[in-house]
Amino acid sequence: MKHGSLLGLVLASAGLAGGCGYSTGIRVADRIGSVGVAYFGNKTLEPDVERPLQDALTAKLRSLTDVPIAAPESAEVILRGVILDYRRRGGVRSAENKLLETGLYLEAEGGLYDRRTDRALGPQKRSRIWIGYVLDEPQGETNARDRAIQYVAEDLILQLFAPLE
């Protein structure tokens, strides 16, 4: 096959794929004008979890849905919730009782609310995860915390927006 014919075939295939209705992400922009992500409350003793969770929720909302993101004070719908639990587990110890592996648990609950009426647009959704890590890994707890936050954010976005599609 000649180079020109191959290029034509690729372009034609791309055109057909674009017209077949296939798209990535959760399509909700036709029902929700904009979403604002509020800082989640924090019922735990672990400080400074709220900002990374809000950042992760915003990033996941942007990558997984087609809805425009706006400031919470001007958005049509507000995503808000609370961090319910953050704890560390005892872990695995050596024969000499030295801690070798441990983990952390993160749990959060969130929901969608109409900004004007403050009415819930559905039930609250909850996400939780245990993430383990070894203690000799540099930045082990920080990396585990980041993975837990990313997981919880993605899970909440999927639970809250996929049923709207």
pTM here?
Answer: 0.82
Each residue's pLDDT tens digit, 63-77: 999 999 999 999 999
Q: In the structure encoding, which two tokens stand for residue 2, read together?
A: 């000649």
Which pair of tokens denotes residue 13?
A: 């295939």
φ/ψ (deg, to 5) at 80 = -145, 160
Cα–Cα distance measured from residue 59 to residue 142, given in angstroms and rounded to the nearest whole number: 19
Dihedral sign (CA 9, 15, 17, 19): negative
pLDDT tens by residue, 74-120:
999 999 999 999 999 888 888 888 888 999 999 999 999 999 999 99
Phi, psi values for residue 70, rounded to 5°:
-135, 170
Q: What angle is formed at CA 123 by the lines to CA 119 and CA 125, rounded to 5 degrees? A: 125
